[in-house]
Structures are given as structure tokens and as C-alpha cells.
Amino acid sequence: MSTTTKSPKRVATVAYRVGKRSLAPYNSRYSPQKYTQAQLFACLVLKSFLKTDYRGVVQILNDCRDLRAAIELKHVPHFTTLQKASRRLLRSTPASQLLHGTARALKRGTKIKLAAMDSTGLEAGHISRYFVRRKRSKQLETAEQTHYRRWPKLAVACDCSNHMILSAVGGRGPGVDVNQFERILTPAAERYAIQSILADAGYDSESNHRFARQQYHIETIIPPKRGRPPLSGKPLKGTYREEMRIGFNRKTYGQRWQVETVMSMIKRNLGETVYARSYWSQCREMMLLVLTHNLAIILWLIRKLFYRASRAHLYVR
């Protein structure tokens, strides 16, 4: 699946409904109560969906009456109000509530046959790759690509059947993936009944296999390629890694490309650049990308269900 909605009004409407279900109406009883938290969350989702900044989404809301009506917004908030709302709503606990709210199509305890996890790096800043390549080519007499020392890094676990993101962790790269396995899997495993999880060799370790299988009874399919290659016929250290070496399920592991599709959808539809400067601001921006992606998936699932219902109605005699 590579097609999602292109309607800002529909995305804002769904974001507003998810915010009303997942968040309290106001942050405090002593707040001005001019805007609800659900309305501010919908504005933040519009900012991510339209690939603009806080000032840009405020101007768009001023110009578009339909968008304001979709989220019942009587007055357009100041851009600093949205910036402060992002610091409050995209923190760990509220963001987890919103992520579970966007995945409400998958109710708690829903059985997920196959899930996959992976991480990707995002761009940080406005610098042009072409400019850097030309600049370095003049200095070094060879055209070279730019290499950042640090960059925003997003790791997700998704449902392979519908590309819905079940959990997400933001951070900075470069860095190894093996120590992030438990942190990514735990929120999804505690909410959903995952049968199998796919991951690339970057997550290969006996402790990761043991954590998923013994604590959550989830089958792990990870190629055992970390460390030195074993000698011919020599078993690997660890029961589960040796099990992967002997009977690796290549057919099921072939579905790991679904999480690669999720990363591609985020970068193509929402952009691959995080313009925030500080570490925590970048983490919040990446979480906003994840939430916006899930909202677009919800609209696709709704359209799919209506299509199936209409087709079933045609064949009813």
C-alpha cells in the first residue's frame, strides 16, 4: 500500500476526533481555555501534513475557513501557542496516548499476525545536498556526498498487514540498533497480541530473542549475522540464534520490506527533513510525523471498509 489521503481537511478532522478521545479538553483548570488540546493537536498534524512551520500553518488556517470549521476553531492560535502545545502534547506520555488513539482501529488485545521493526535516519536542516557536493568538489577536486556526524534517527514497529505504526522511538544517529529492541517492542507488545516480529541483523542478539519469546511469547525472526562468521558446522552461541541458523524462515522474513515501505511513505508524503535544532525538539517532530502517518492510514482503512461494504451490498440478493 503506497496511497494515502491527500485531503488536509480529512486529516484535520480525524486528528481532532482522535485528540478528543485521547486527551483531556484542557491542560489545566486555570488555563485560558480558548483552545482545546484536541484542536491544538489537529493544528500540529496539519503543520506536519502540509510540510510547513508554525507560522505557515497559522497563515493557512487564517486563509481556509473550511479547515477551521473542520476542527471547530473559532480563533486561530498564535504560532507560539502551537510551539508550546507541541512541547506539551508530544512528550512521552501524551504522545503514547495519541499513538494508541491513532491505532484505535486495532483495539487493545488485537491479534497481529506479523509485525516488523526497523530504523532510519532523517535529514537535519535546510542545507542543499547539491550545494555541499559542489563545494566539496571544488575543494577536493572530486564530487563527494556530505556526511553528517549526527542526525535524527527514527525507529518504529509496524503492522505488516496495514502499515500502521504500533510504537516509535526517536533518537540520534549514528548508533547501534541492538540495544533499542526492547524499547521499541515493549509498548506494542503490551497493547497488542503480536505473533511474530521481523527485524534485520542489526537487532540480532540472544537477549533480544529471549526477551520477546519468554516475556511476551512472540516469535522472533532475525538473521544471525552479528559478530564473526562461525566456522563450518560450528554452532552459534545461544539457543535461539542457533535455531535461526538451522531453520531460518526466509519466506516469512521476506515480508520485512513492509517496514521499509512505512519509512518510504513517511519520507515521500511528509518529508525527510526535521527542522528542529535541539535533541528533544527533533524527537517531538519525529513523533508528530509518526502520528500524521497513522492518521492518513486510518482514512485509507475507512475508505477500504466502505468500499468492501458497498461491494458486498451489490452481491446481496
Please write the tens of the pLDDT for every residue from 91-133: 988 898 898 888 765 555 678 999 999 999 998 876 666 666 6
Higher pLDDT among residues 80 and 126, named by residue: 80
On whether residue 34 sits in a domain, the answer given is yes
* Same domain flag for 104 and 246: yes
On whether residue 228 sits in a domain, the answer given is yes
Banded pLDDT at 211 (limits 50, 70, 90): very high
> What is the C-alpha separation between 166 and 239, in angstroms, rounded?
28
- Peptide bond before 152: cis, by omega within 30 degrees of 0? no
* Same domain flag for 106 and 70: no
Residue 146's pLDDT is what?
A: 55
* Same domain flag for 221 and 116: yes
- From first CA to last CA, the distance across the chain in angstroms is 32
* Same domain flag for 80 and 104: no
On whether residue 201 sits in a domain, the answer given is yes
Range of the domain at 181: 100-123+151-303
* Same domain flag for 51 and 16: yes
* Same domain flag for 159 and 268: yes
Residue 105's pLDDT is what?
A: 55
> What is the C-alpha separation between 124 and 86, in angstroms, rounded?
18
What's the whole-number average pLDDT of the chain? 86
Whether 259 shows a pLDDT value over 90: the answer reads: yes
Q: Average of pLDDT values for 44-63?
A: 95
On whether residue 32 sits in a domain, the answer given is yes
Q: Average of pLDDT values for 156-175?
A: 92
On whether residue 131 sits in a domain, the answer given is no
On whether residue 312 sits in a domain, the answer given is no
On whether residue 17 sits in a domain, the answer given is yes
* Same domain flag for 158 and 299: yes
Banded pLDDT at 150 (limits 50, 70, 90): confident
CB atoms within 10 A of CB 155: 22
* Same domain flag for 117 and 258: yes
Banded pLDDT at 134 (limits 50, 70, 90): low
Whether 315 shows a pLDDT value over 50: the answer reads: no
> Number of folded domains in the chain?
2
On whether residue 94 sits in a domain, the answer given is no
Whether 314 shows a pLDDT value over 50: the answer reads: no
Cell triple for 13: 478532522
Domain with residue 157: its CATH number is 3.30.420.10
Closest to 1 measured CA to CA, from 311, 306, 298: 298
